[in-house]
Amino acid sequence: MFASAESAPARRGRPGYDRAQVLAVAVELFNEQGYDATSVADLAQRLGLTKSALYHHFDSKEQLLALALDEALSGLEGLLDDPAIAGAAPADRLAGVLRGAVLVLVDRLPYVTLLLRVRGNSDVERAALERRRAFDHRVTQLVAEAQSAGSVRSDVDGAVVTRLVFGMVNSIVEWYRPGGAIDRDRLAHDVVTVALDGMRTR
C-alpha cells in the first residue's frame, strides 16, 4: 500500500493505494499524455503522493510500463494456453482465441491501448513488441493448421488474414467505451461471427 503522503484533515479519510491502483492511474496518465511525456512527478501529483512515497514501492517509471504491458500481453498469451481452447479443433481454437482477445481488450482496455501504442523506443518496449510478434506468430500457425485441416479457406493468405482479423479486434480500442450501449459479450460475438462466417447470408 502507498499511504497518502499528505495528512491535511480534509484528506484524512482518503484511502491509500495498492500497487494495482497506482498502476491503473499510471496507465491512465500514460494514455492521456503519452508515456514519454509523463514524469514520475506528474504521477505523484495525480495520486496526491510524494515522489519518494511512490519510489518506495516501485523502481522506475519504466517498471510501471513493463507491468502495464505485461498485464495486456499475459492476457492474450493465456488464451493460447487455455485448456478450454487448446484441446479444440483448429477453427474452434481460432474462435476461442478471437473471442478471448476481444474480452481481454475490453476488460483491460487501458492496458491494451497502451500496448498498441508501443513503438519500440526502449528495451521494455522492444520486449513487448517481441511478445506481440510471438503471439501473432502462434495465431498465424493456428490459421495455417486450420487451413491444412480444411476448416479455414485456402484461397486467402493465412498471414495476411491473421493481421486483418487482429486489426479488426485492435480497432475496437478506438471507439469502445466500457459501460456504454454495447455489451462485451455481444461485441465478442459480432467479431467472431464476422471473422469466421462473414457478414453475408447464404
Check residue 129 and report its DSSP letter: H
Angle at 78 between CA 156 and CA 116, to 5 degrees: 65
196 near a second copy, judged by CB under 8 A: yes
* First-to-last C-alpha distance (Å) of the chain: 57
170 in Cβ contact with 104 (< 8 Å): no
168 near a second copy, judged by CB under 8 A: yes
SS3 110: helix
69 in Cβ contact with 37 (< 8 Å): no
Shorter beta-carbon distance to a second copy: residue 40 or 168: 168
Q: Which of 27, 94, 104, 106 binds a second copy (CB under 8 A)?
A: 94
178 in Cβ contact with 169 (< 8 Å): no
Q: Which of 9, 13, 167, 179 binds a second copy (CB under 8 A)?
A: 167
Q: Candidates 13-21, 55-63, 67-75, 160-168 — which segment interacts with a second copy by CB under 8 A?
A: 160-168
Q: Which of 47, 54, 66, 91 binds a second copy (CB under 8 A)?
A: 91
Kindly report the number of other CB atoms within 10 A of residue 187's CB atom.
18
The cell for 10 is 480534509
SS3 6: coil
How many residues bind a second copy, per CB under 8 A?
39
Binding mask 124-153 for a second copy (x = CB under 8 A): -------------------x--x---xxxx
Q: How far apart are the C-alpha atoms of 66 and 124, rounded to whole Å?
A: 6
The cell for 131 is 511478445
175 near a second copy, judged by CB under 8 A: yes
Nearest distance from C-beta of residue 91 to a second copy, angstroms: 6
Q: How far apart are the C-alpha atoms of 46 and 175, rounded to whole Å?
A: 25
23 near a second copy, judged by CB under 8 A: no
171 near a second copy, judged by CB under 8 A: yes
Q: Which of 12, 177, 180, 199 binds a second copy (CB under 8 A)?
A: 199
191 near a second copy, judged by CB under 8 A: yes
- Binding site residues, a second copy, CB under 8 A: 91, 94, 143, 146, 150-153, 155-157, 160-161, 163-168, 170-172, 174-175, 182, 186-187, 189-191, 193-201
